Amino acid sequence: MATDYFGIHVPFLDMLGVTAELDAEGRPFVSVDVRPELMNSFHVTHGGVIMTLLDVAMAMSARVSSRHKGGAITVDMSMSFLRPASGRVTARGRVLHSGRSLYFCEGEAQDASGQLIAKSLGTLSCAKRCTTARATDVLPNSIHQENKMSETNLQVLLASRPTGWVEENNFNIVTTPIPEPKAGEVLVRNHYLSLDPYMRGRMNDTKSYAAAVAIGAVMVGGTVGEVVKSNHPGFQAGDKVSGYFGWQLYGVSDGTMLQKVDATKVPLSAYLGVLGMPGVTAWYGLMDICAPKPGETVVVTAASGAVGSVVGQLAKIHGARAVGIAGGAEKCRYVVDELGFDACIDYKAGKLWADLKAATPKGIDCLFENVGGEIFDMLLGRMNAFSRIAVCGLISQYNSEPYPMKNIGSVLINRIKMQGFIVSEHLPRWPVALKELSTEIAAGRIKYRETVAHGLRAAPAAFIGLLKGQNFGKQVVKLI
């Protein structure tokens, strides 16, 4: 069964009620009423409903803008982010760069309220004029360069230690030979790099729970990618793996800290976020330290971020009331409307205390603290007797002097249990956490979003943006 969408044959989509239309300005888009019971039917080409819609939208847009009339169009998309959706979804695509007969496109899908639920990048080739085109012909510059130079490795080194805010000149980008795996080792091509707040601490040379990155060394970081050569009995070429190769395109491992992952059900990048270190961090701090009871109030700071977004959704799943604190109205809207928190306070609105009192009428039983400083100090003033605080992060002071806390007396007066933790020290809890997280993601009860920077050369700027709150959800860098 195939249907003609502006001259493009897309199997089965008509059976699922997908329509191809033109908007008032003559631009093509596709729309569909996404019904949960049909979700499996959509797992056709690229792993999910939005991917398929975006395929169509991108292909249509390319067809219209390229005036390409004959031959088949094939689409090869790499997803940036995707959230489960239901109800009416519309998808549009446009050509970013065009080669002779290969187009680099982007697509977006929105739900009925206009919220962005998916964003994709991909290439599209037109078979009649072009059967052997390579994606690198038309990719944007940063990725293009990296793919072209994939006979060599690209690395981001720590060039100097920042004082205060990180600057791009604290990093040095170099090309080096691709390392050769020895006996018992594997060579991995990284597809995504994770950017995380803890990396700021590794740029300092002060006493901490982990060693500093040496000047001239590759910046540390979690990665996901594919084994390209293996001399290790446990891995073979083609295996998708998560590892800790740092800010570089290739890495060699003897298998230590290398995990095979299944990228057929969730996108590979999810293993850096909701199904990786940040997801487990949220689970551990909430379940093992805060341990909320049904009906209790859980407050989480940096609520729209990689860790915070999971904390609030897990709290809801376990019957608690979830209140987020985030920077800006858009992030707060997302936290309530998309993630299902009961309330969210925009700390930038300038009336934090009044908003906090309104959102926590029964005080706070569990605080999951990601930010520290003035916000944390104020939250201490709303804590209940025998409440719990999981001190996960203090991002507001990673680039500045510590904030002098005024309300620390609340810990004594309210007999608060307050505990800091480092998720990598609780490895026995990871399988338990990942089991619950993957179940809830599959059931659509935990949603997530990503901010994607493109190309390793974009990593320093994206990292600086993360420290300034410019990310919206998990910050990753797409490397391939």
Ligand X SMILES: NC(=O)c1ccc[n+]([C@@H]2O[C@H](COP(=O)([O-])OP(=O)(O)OC[C@H]3O[C@@H](n4cnc5c(N)ncnc54)[C@H](OP(=O)(O)O)[C@@H]3O)[C@@H](O)[C@H]2O)c1
> Which residue among 466, 476, 477, 480 contacts ligand X (CB under 6 A)?
466
CA distance 4 to 20: 9
Torsion angle in degrees (nearest 10) through CA of 195, 199, 203, 207: 180
CA distance 106 to 93: 6
Region 130-159 residues binding ligand X, contact defined as CB under 6 A: none
Contact segment (CB under 6 A) with ligand X among 10-18, 179-187, 238-246, 392-400 equals 392-400
Q: How many residues bind ligand X (CB under 6 A)?
A: 27
CB of 375 to ligand X, least distance (A): 6
Over the range 284-322, which residues count as b (16 or more CB within 10 Å of their CB) and which as e? bbbbebbebeeebbbbbbbbbbbbbbbbbbbbbbbebbb
105 near ligand X (CB under 6 A): no
CB of 195 to ligand X, least distance (A): 8
Local structure of 18: helix, strand or coil: coil
231 to each of 183, 203, 267, how far by Cα in Å? 5, 33, 27
308 near ligand X (CB under 6 A): yes
Site string (422-461) toward ligand X, x via CB under 6 A: xx--------------------------------------
DSSP 440-451: HHHTTSS---EE
- State which residue, 252 or 418, has the beta carbon closest to ligand X: 418
Which residue, 255, 250, 249, 251, is CA-closest to 231? 255
DSSP state at residue 25: T
> Which residue among 158, 371, 416, 452 contacts ligand X (CB under 6 A)?
371
CB of 302 to ligand X, least distance (A): 4
Site string (189-228) toward ligand X, x via CB under 6 A: -------xxx------------------------------
By CB atoms closer than 10 A (0-12, 13-18, 19+), residue 83 is buried
- State which residue, 122 or 285, has the beta carbon closest to ligand X: 285
Provide the residue count of the chain: 480
Q: Are 245 and 251 in contact (CB under 8 A)?
A: yes
172 to each of 134, 195, 215, how far by Cα in Å? 30, 17, 10
Q: How far apart are the first and last CA of the chain?
A: 34
> Which residue among 156, 188, 287, 307 contacts ligand X (CB under 6 A)?
307
8 to each of 23, 63, 254, 461, how far by Cα in Å? 18, 8, 47, 39
> Which residue among 248, 281, 360, 438 contacts ligand X (CB under 6 A)?
281
CB of 435 to ligand X, least distance (A): 19
> Which residue among 343, 389, 395, 452 contacts ligand X (CB under 6 A)?
395
CB of 384 to ligand X, least distance (A): 23
Region 328-347 residues binding ligand X, contact defined as CB under 6 A: 331
370 near ligand X (CB under 6 A): yes
Q: How many CB atoms lie within 10 A of CB 226?
A: 17
Region 30-89 residues binding ligand X, contact defined as CB under 6 A: none
CB of 410 to ligand X, least distance (A): 20
421 near ligand X (CB under 6 A): yes
CA distance 455 to 207: 32
**Both structure tokens of 375:** 């916000």
- State which residue, 116 or 173, has the beta carbon closest to ligand X: 116
306 near ligand X (CB under 6 A): yes
270 near ligand X (CB under 6 A): no
> Which residue among 396, 457, 458, 464 contacts ligand X (CB under 6 A)?
396
Q: Which residues bind ligand X (CB under 6 A)?
A: 196-198, 278, 281, 302, 304-308, 326-327, 331, 370-371, 392-393, 395-396, 421-423, 466, 469, 471, 474
